[in-house]
Amino acid sequence: MQSEANFRISRISAHLNPSNVEMGENSMLEQAKCRAKGGAPGFKVAILGAAGGIGQPLAMLMKMNPLVSVLHLYDVVNAPGVTADISHMDTGAVVRGFLGQPQLENALAGMDLVVIPAGVPRKPGMTRDDLFKINAGIVRTLCQGIAKCCPNAIVNLISNPVNSTVPIAAEVFKKAGTYDPKRLLGVTMLDVVRANTFVAEVLGLDPREVSVPVVGGHAGVTILPLLSQVKPPCSFTSEETEYLTKRIQDGGTEVVQAKAGAGSATLSMAYAAVKFADACLRGLRGDANIVECAFVASQVTELPFFATRVRLGRTGAEEIFQLGPMNEYERAGLVEAKKELIGSIEKGVSFISK
């Protein structure tokens, strides 16, 4: 009786002081004793960079996902606050917070899916490549942790420049002997989300009815929307094609400029990240015909990595689809995309191998 009362008090004080953040062995509230349970059996998901502009709404949306039973929120700052806040949502997933490098391994142990929006965002005048030096080091550290603690997890890499950070992650995993190309996915979903929205505007359709494959990479001209393959089938004038292609390629810059120094896309990115993570989880569950675009190790072109439509299954990107028939405009775009992409991929590889 007495111990039950003490236990309840310790639970309450753990919430107040300050949250259910991972507090180590001396924690009054040891995880094993915590009575909170996920509503249904589900997947364990970690978000690395969970206190950031993308990380916070991403954490909120993942807490609402019924496929998630455990949600680990890791950041080098503010993880306790975000965790306390999100943990009050009355949805099934159990939320735990982890603050700083010493807690990275606990954050990652046993995870099925790791989503990485950690890093600095683009400011006006910065290209995605300008971010390279800072974000490359962050991604390396986080991927070393994944290789050690959850080598079989599916990794969704959001940190820019994706065209380089995915090759960096691959090299880290190769060095650790854990590399499985099917499990490493660069998130290009925001390009698809934007393409669906902008194409729907031009066609006067509901964006939910529109599906635009976007291939190549995730920066400027490497973003190649295949407007000839839009579903439902439709055609565009050359002006419309030019306008849509440019707007989709420059979508990130449009937001960076509008935010005028306050960061890059966060809310639409969190939406896109959850849409993609949910597809990965449905694939893990064994659902059939889960197809999304992602930047993955690929033999579709001569480049070692390329974004195309992939089929997501129990082991990650189980099938990588070919580019399909392209028109002349798209073929010319492909040449440009590959020219730029090769340099970004090499930059990522040599960051680790040098």
Specify binding-site residues for substrate: 122, 128, 160, 194
Only segment of 34-42, 50-58, 230-238, 325-333 that touches ligand NAD (CB under 6 A): 50-58
Known catalytic residue at 72:
no
User: Considering only CA atoms, which of 92, 91, 110 is closest in space to residue 41?
Assistant: 92
Q: Binding to ligand NAD by residue 162, rule CB under 6 A?
A: yes
Residue 273 CB contacts under 8 Å (≥ 6 apart), including other chains: 54, 58, 115, 117, 156, 158, 187, 189, 190
* Binding site per annotation, positions for NAD(+): 49-55, 75, 135, 158-160, 269
Show the CA angle centred on residue 75, arms to residues 73 and 79, nearest 5°: 65
Q: Are 255 and 237 in contact (CB under 8 A)?
A: no
* Cis peptide, bond prior to residue 233, ω within 30 of zero: no
- Which of 19, 103, 135, 222 is in the footprint of ligand NAD by CB under 6 A? 135
Q: Which of 71, 155, 158, 214 binds ligand NAD (CB under 6 A)?
A: 158
84 binds ligand NAD, rule: CB under 6 A:
no
DSSP H/E element including 142: helix 132-149
168 part of the interface to ligand NAD, by CB under 6 A: no
Alpha-carbon distance of 148 to 143, in angstroms, equals 9
End-to-end CA distance of the chain: 62
Whole-number Cα distances in Å, 68 to 43, 61, 146? 5, 10, 19
x-marked contacts with ligand NAD along 88-127 as a string, rule CB under 6 A: -----------------------------xxxxxx-----
> Are the beta carbons of 83 and 20 closer than 8 angstroms?
yes
Q: Tell me, by CB under 6 A, how many residues bind ligand NAD.
A: 33
Residues 143, 168 contacting (CB under 8 angstroms): yes
Instruction: Rule CB under 6 A: say whether 22 interacts with ligand NAD.
Output: no
- Tell me whether residue 163 or residue 228 sits nearer to ligand NAD (CB atom): 163
Using the rule CB under 6 A, is 265 a contact of ligand NAD?
yes
Cβ nearer to ligand NAD, comparing 38 with 316: 316
Q: Is 195 in contact with 205 (CB distance < 8 Å)?
A: no
Under the binding rule (CB under 6 A), the answer on residue 54 touching ligand NAD is: yes
Stretch that binds ligand NAD, among 33-41, 72-80, 310-318, 332-340 (CB under 6 A): 72-80
Q: Is residue 216 a contact residue for ligand NAD (CB under 6 A)?
A: no
Smaller CB distance to ligand NAD: residue 244 or 265?
A: 265
Which residue from 38, 55, 80, 283 is in contact with ligand NAD, where contact means CB under 6 A? 55
Measured distance CA(52)–CA(120) in Å, rounded = 9
Contact segment (CB under 6 A) with ligand NAD among 7-15, 239-247, 260-268, 310-318 equals 260-268
Residue 194 near ligand NAD by CB under 6 A = no
Question: What is the full DSSP assignment across 72-104?
Answer: EEEESSSHHHHHHHHHTS-SS-EEEEEESGGGH
Q: How far is the CB of 277 from ligand NAD (least distance, A)?
A: 12
Residues in the chain: 354
Question: Applying CB under 6 A, which part among 15-23, 133-141, 145-153, 278-286 lies near ligand NAD?
Answer: 133-141
In the complex, the smallest distance separating the C-beta of residue 79 from ligand NAD, rounded to whole angstroms, is 9
Site string for ligand NAD, 276-315 (x = CB under 6 A): ----------------------------------------
Contacts of 224 (CB under 8 A, 6+ apart): 214, 215, 216, 330, 333, 334, 337
CB atoms within 10 A of CB 7: 14
* 220 forms part of the interface with ligand NAD (CB under 6 A): no
Could you list the active site residues? Answer: 218
Task: Point out which residues bind ligand NAD (CB under 6 A).
Answer: 48-49, 51-55, 75-77, 117-122, 131, 135, 138, 141-142, 158-160, 162, 187, 190, 218, 263-266, 269
